[in-house]
Structure 1
Amino acid sequence: MFQRMLVPVDGGEPAQAGLQEALALATAHDSVLCLLHVVDDAPLLDDLSAPDLAPLHHKTLASGEAILAQARALCEAKDRRVETRLHESRHGRASDAILQQARELACDLIVIGSHGRRGALRALLGSDAEAVIRASPVPVLLVRSVTETASAIAVNARVPYRSILVPIDGSETSDRGLQQAIQLGLMNHGRLRLIHVVDELSMVDAFEPALTLDWVGRLREGGRWILDQAAKRVREAGLSVETLLVDDFGRRVWTVVAEDATNWLADVVVLGSHGRRGFDRLLLGSDAEQILRHSPVPVLLVRPDQAAQGRSLQRTPVQGLKEETPAASPGPN
């Protein structure tokens, strides 16, 4: 776990935040850091006023080499093992280069810095961070950018990740996130806090004409069952665990997660992600995207195993509540 980390760097503040986090993780896990800078020729091709693009291209390459050299020096100053790669993207996207390099370099984690509240999906080159999250074959760690001083203090305080916050909803997706969180907890002798939120979306999803009037009680019972089953798995792995059921219908998942991450002093939030099946379908609708935007700590996104995507998982054994539809079945996803 976390033996080789891919860290895209572009010289900007968000990428620097990602590099600082990756450097701390590499120190804690004795990992190799694979630094990547993507040279995009598209801006050069758009500059029709340039009679000869070669000098501009060489200048761009030299700038990329300098960014990599500076990042490498930072890592070597901490006695970290480091590899660098300069990738020229011709008529492609930075996300394609990142995914390609993650596979070629056999990385098991991609670390991306983001602009935080200004938009977690605006890291790197616009939508490239989102594209990486959708298609990455390995977990992706999103790190919010803050001031350099505050970042250094925060990183040193939370790495290695020992207080792990895990939102769960009983789906196969969140189950994959829970599995990753357990592995992370075992590696760092950590503890887990599991959150299940029953909000208005749960009510709509669970509604059926034949549903009894006690739908609130049934949703709460289902939520407790989900938490109990997940907590049992964590305890069987030998880890400490606590649970939180929020069932007042007054708050959304992302607000609960963001607030609890602060109040509980979480080091990281671990989320299961649907990947190509729709970034906006993480957990409950757009809540996952909002968690990425507002979480005060890094968010580790984990996609389900490709082989397991066709299987369904019961959300709750409570009669009268709808179950998830298997991916291969007709109907809404």
Structure 2
Amino acid sequence: MYQKILVPYDKSDPAKNALQAALDLAAGVPDATITVLSVVDWHDFNAETFRIASRMSGVLGDSLDMDAIAEVESEAVKADTDAIAADIAPLVGDTAGVEIAVVNGSPHDSITAYADEGGYDCIVMGHRGLGAVRGMLGSVCYSVLHKTSVPVLIVK
């Protein structure tokens, strides 16, 4: 049985179905944990284009206030975490054994890295999510399936 399950989550119906499947997999397994992972694409505040645009607009001077940027990122993580917690509450009920994580990056790379680095036993993910360009670039689950060594359960 799986002890540590990762569920990539984008608030879509397939992601909710995947979460339900993960809850079913973890039912009756002592100390099983489920991590609901949200992958977001925030702007890179260290990028040169951001620095130039900030200086041109007069918002920032020659140096960036990294503490202010870290605070903005922290607030964004908290807001996303709270939104996911509210969205999954009807499915999860008691949140014991369910964690929420928010990471920045591309979905396929972030999911794969998070699963591999976190020592997860299984990734449970929805077949079709909200990816805007999945038709051009291929589906996220196809990419994750081929990039990770962790077993992947794809739920429709």
TM range (shorter): 0.5 to 0.7
Residue of structure 1 equivalent to 2:13? 13
The SS at the match of 1:23 is helix
**Distance in 2 (alpha carbons) for counterparts of 1:78 and 1:63:** 20
Residue of structure 2 equivalent to 1:65? 81
The answer to whether the 8 A contact 2:8-2:38 is kept is yes
- The alpha-carbon distance between structure 1 residues 10 and 35, as it changes in their structure 2 partners (threshold 3 A), is same
Matches within 5 A, 1:112-131: 112-115=125-128, 123=129, 125=131, 126=134, 127-131=139-143
- 1:98 matched to 2:111? The reply is yes
**Distance in 2 (alpha carbons) for counterparts of 1:79 and 1:16:** 15
How far has the Cα of 1:4 moved from its partner? 0.5
- 1:138 matched to 2:150? The reply is yes
The SS at the match of 1:41 is coil
Deviations 1:183-233 (CA, angstroms, capped at 9, x unpaired):
xxxxxxxxxxxxxxxxxxxxxxxxxxxxxxxxxxxxxxxxxxxxxxxxxxx
Q: Which runs of 5+ in 2 are unaligned?
A: 48-56, 60-68
**Distance in 2 (alpha carbons) for counterparts of 1:86 and 1:27:** 24
Residue of structure 2 equivalent to 1:39? 40
- Give me the CA root mean square deviation: 3.4
How far has the Cα of 1:38 moved from its partner? 1.0
The answer to whether the 8 A contact 1:33-1:83 is kept is yes
The SS at the match of 2:15 is helix
- The alpha-carbon distance between structure 1 residues 106 and 114, as it changes in their structure 2 partners (threshold 3 A), is same
The SS at the match of 1:85 is strand
The answer to whether the 8 A contact 1:39-1:60 is kept is no
How far has the Cα of 1:71 moved from its partner? 5.6
**Distance in 2 (alpha carbons) for counterparts of 1:81 and 1:74:** 15
Residue of structure 1 equivalent to 2:51? none
**Distance in 2 (alpha carbons) for counterparts of 1:97 and 1:78:** 27
Higher Cα Rg: structure 1 or 2?
Answer: 1
TM-score, normalising length from structure 1? 0.33
Aligned match for 2:103, one of 77, 84, 87: 87
- The structure whose RCO (Cα within 8 Å, separation 6+) is larger is 2
The SS at the match of 1:95 is helix
The SS at the match of 1:112 is strand
The SS at the match of 1:29 is coil
**Distance in 2 (alpha carbons) for counterparts of 1:84 and 1:62:** 10
**Distance in 1 (alpha carbons) for counterparts of 2:130 and 2:121:** 20
**Distance in 2 (alpha carbons) for counterparts of 1:104 and 1:71:** 26
How far has the Cα of 1:124 moved from its partner? 5.3
How far has the Cα of 1:32 moved from its partner? 0.9
TM-score, normalising length from structure 2? 0.66
**Distance in 2 (alpha carbons) for counterparts of 1:28 and 1:124:** 31
Residue of structure 2 equivalent to 1:311? none
**Distance in 1 (alpha carbons) for counterparts of 2:148 and 2:11:** 23
Deviations 1:72-127 (CA, angstroms, capped at 9, x unpaired):
645762464122211122xxx21111111112221110000124xxxxxxx35323
The answer to whether the 8 A contact 2:81-2:101 is kept is no
